[in-house]
Amino acid sequence: MKHIARKRFGQHFLTDGGIIDAIVDAIAPQAGQPMVEIGPGLAALTQPLVERLGHLTVVELDRDLAVRLREHPHLSVVESDVLKVDFTALAAQMQQSADLPQRIRVVGNLPYNISTPILFHLLAHVEVIEDQHFMLQKEVIDRMVAKPCTSDYSRLSVMLQWRYDMDNVLFVPPESFDPPPRVDSAVVRMLPLAKPPVVDVRTLETLVQVAFSQRRKILRNTLGKWLDEKGFGGEFDVQRRAEEVPVAEFVALAQAV
């Protein structure tokens, strides 16, 4: 029976063979590597990945799809909301079963309606991740890789660039899916930085959220007040807008606070 895409799960199934091959080539899976695919759906990416890897762990929320996926002899299926998956524990489990001490690779065609929460959820588990390759709404990736002083530069840009080196590696048009989404898509490569700046993540998150809460206002009116409440007496130019402050300066300020 044909599976009908479910709107509540944000399902858009990839069907373009050329795009699938290009994504797999960008991921470059090698036999034996521990890999997790988020949202395998109808296994368009899953099958070519598992053919190269030998075995693949998949996270699928849709019960009907999970039943189908369990019939595959080379898949381990985690039937769950990805936002509830402990990737640190999952990585430990995968390494123990395969006797492999290396970090896991994570890939997937992420549901566009919860893509940002997924990215932040994975950020909390970045220590056990080798790399990430995700298909996302193109405008989200534009924000992820944006530079300061551009309209796309945002809280998402800062919080991810602090921890990852990222590249937009492939454009994917709507007609590559069934049903086609109303937006353009793209594939992003995310490599965790080997030596990221040491910073209290909660402080950085709060600071950046306050700074971008009214992005068109001068920081004196938002972040400046927050710094005053914290008793911050250091140097920081609040006569700028949030979009003018480089990632390194946000990190340095969080360290100082």
SS (HEC) of 18-72:
HHHHHHHHHHCCCCCCCEEEECCCCCCCHHHHHHHHCCEEEEECCHHHHHHHHCC
Does 100 count as an annotated binding residue?
no
Q: Is 223 helix (H, G, I), strand (E, B) or coil?
A: helix
90-93's contacts with Cβ under 8 Å and 24+ in sequence apart are: 90/36, 90/57, 91/34, 91/125, 91/128, 91/129, 92/128
Residue 59 tokens, joined: 């996270």
The single-letter code of the amino acid at 101 is P
Task: Give the residue carrying structure tokens 């534009």.
Answer: 142
Does 12 count as an annotated binding residue?
yes
Does 86 count as an annotated binding residue?
no
Residues placed in the known binding site for S-adenosyl-L-methionine = 12, 14, 39, 60, 81, 109
Residues placed in the known binding site = 12, 14, 39, 60, 81, 109
